[in-house]
Amino acid sequence: MKIMRPLGAVGIVASAALVLAACGSDPAASNSSNSSSAAAPAATGTAQVDCGGKSPLSGEGSTAQNNAIDVFKLAYGKQCSGQQVNYTASGSGAGVKQFNGNQVDFGGTDSPATGADLEAANKRCASPAWNIPMVVGPVAVGYHLSGVDKLVLTPSVIAKIFSGGITKWNDPAIKAVKGNESFTFPDKAIQVVSRSDESGTTDNFQKYLGAAAKADWTKGAGKKFNGGVGNGASGSNGVATTVKGADGSITYVEGAFAKDGVTPALIDSGSGGVALSAENVAKSLDSATFLNAGSNDLALDLNKIYASNVAGAYPLLLTTYELVCSKYSNPDVSKAVKAFLTTSATTGQQQLSSKGYVPIPQSLQDKVLTAIKAIS
């Protein structure tokens, strides 16, 4: 199932610093508080790849990165003739479980494996397991509401909608957000649509609310939706399809799905409404730090991004990780994992913008390649 598609109506904003493909801009995706500062350079170039090892390599997990994995597999096949990767897009929860159960060679997850999951991964590997960030993508607060084509929401309002504190579209709190004054909101119930399956997107979304709207989101985080309102649908495609068919509905979904009837809201974190675009996501990455500084486990601490109000920065994003062993018991698996990930982090990044992703910045690419080189 093809999960990530071009941002289309969202409008990937071309940026030389990001080496993004020229997709044309959409007025709805323009940023009302744009910053002139340059974004961090995107990952570019190639790296020496030692081909060989296990084929096909096996992976499972994140649906959000499925189209990116397709790009990576093609690049890997060209770089290492005859080498293949089988990847099953079953969701982040399943990916971590399958990796920890030694059923696949790497797991794909939209939030880093931590706590008990990381402990289980360490046990499976008989060595430290590492989270390697490989794909960056924005998360949209996507809605379908007739007559409203450029909705602006604050973190507080978003938190109240997804926890049941705001239940009608004509609630004064929505009207009061700067940018919404010209709209006539209907006396219509808000239909919240969440992921019914365990999802890293859900985890990231709830972490965002916890960081950006602490007073209004007390539901915690995790791969299961804790809001207690609305209805669930399975997978990214499931929630997007549900919203497309229901006027008055709203969801959280990877940015590539905010199209064809699902409109991404602008987010006002205190510096004006900011549209979902690759350029604006890249500005947010400037403040990224790591949970384990100095380690090759490159789990990002996104709380600073989520809680920021930097002008022109779109704060709601996710990073998908490849969960790997720092040391594999089978050298053929280790060799293939290193070759695949090296290709993915270099030549594979060059085609991601056309699939709705944001290529990883050069500074992050350097750390990723260092970690991959250390796998044995």
Domains, in order of start, for the chain: 8-22+39-137+290-299+319-374 (3.40.190.10), 140-280 (3.40.190.10)
CA distance 376 to 374: 6
Alpha carbon of residue 17 to chain centroid:
20
Residue 34 CB: number of other CB atoms within 10 A? Answer: 17
* pLDDT tens, residue by residue, 119-165: 999 999 999 999 999 999 899 999 999 999 999 999 999 999 999 99
Give me the pLDDT at residue 42, please: 58
Segment among 18-27, 176-185, 300-309 with least mean pLDDT: 18-27
Q: Which amino acids are annotated as binding site, given as ranges?
A: 62-64, 92, 110, 199-201
Give me the pLDDT at residue 371, please: 98
**Phi, psi of 213, rounded to the nearest 5 degrees:** -140, 60
Give me the pLDDT at residue 11, please: 35
Highest mean pLDDT among 277-286, 311-320, 332-341: 332-341
pLDDT band at 363 (very low <50, low <70, confident <90, very high): confident
CA distance 133 to 112: 9
The b-or-e profile of 350-367 (16+ CB within 10 A means b, else e) is bbbbbbbbbbbbeebbeb
Mean of per-residue pLDDT scores for the chain: 88
DSSP 326: S
Q: Which pair of structure tokens corresponds to residue 58?
A: 């096996």
Per the CB < 8 A criterion, the answer to whether 278 and 353 are in contact is yes
CA distance 309 to 164: 25
List Cα–Cα distances, 67 to 231, 332, 372, in angstroms.
Answer: 26, 26, 22
Give me the pLDDT at residue 356, please: 79
Q: Which amino acids are annotated as binding site for phosphate, given as ranges?
A: 62-64, 92, 110, 199-201
Per the CB < 8 A criterion, the answer to whether 316 and 267 are in contact is yes
Residues forming a β-bridge with 132: 322
Q: Tell which residue, 164, 92, 175, 94, has the closest CA to residue 135.
A: 92
Q: Which pair of structure tokens corresponds to residue 306?
A: 């989520």
Segment among 14-18, 113-117, 121-125, 171-175 with least mean pLDDT: 14-18
Give me the pLDDT at residue 45, please: 63
Per the CB < 8 A criterion, the answer to whether 144 and 246 are in contact is yes
Give me the pLDDT at residue 24, please: 28
Give me the pLDDT at residue 288, please: 79
Give me the pLDDT at residue 32, please: 38
- Amino acid letter, 174: I
Instruction: Say what percent of the chain tops pLDDT 70.
Output: 88
Residue 50 reports pLDDT greater than 90: yes
Instruction: Say what percent of the chain tops pLDDT 90.
Output: 72
Query: In terms of pTM, does the model score above 0.85?
Result: no
Give me the pLDDT at residue 322, please: 98
Quick one: average pLDDT of 311-332? Answer: 96
Residue 219 CB: number of other CB atoms within 10 A? Answer: 16
Quick one: average pLDDT of 268-277? Answer: 95
CA distance 313 to 315: 6
pLDDT band at 357 (very low <50, low <70, confident <90, very high): confident
pLDDT band at 225 (very low <50, low <70, confident <90, very high): very high
Residue 275 reports pLDDT greater than 90: yes
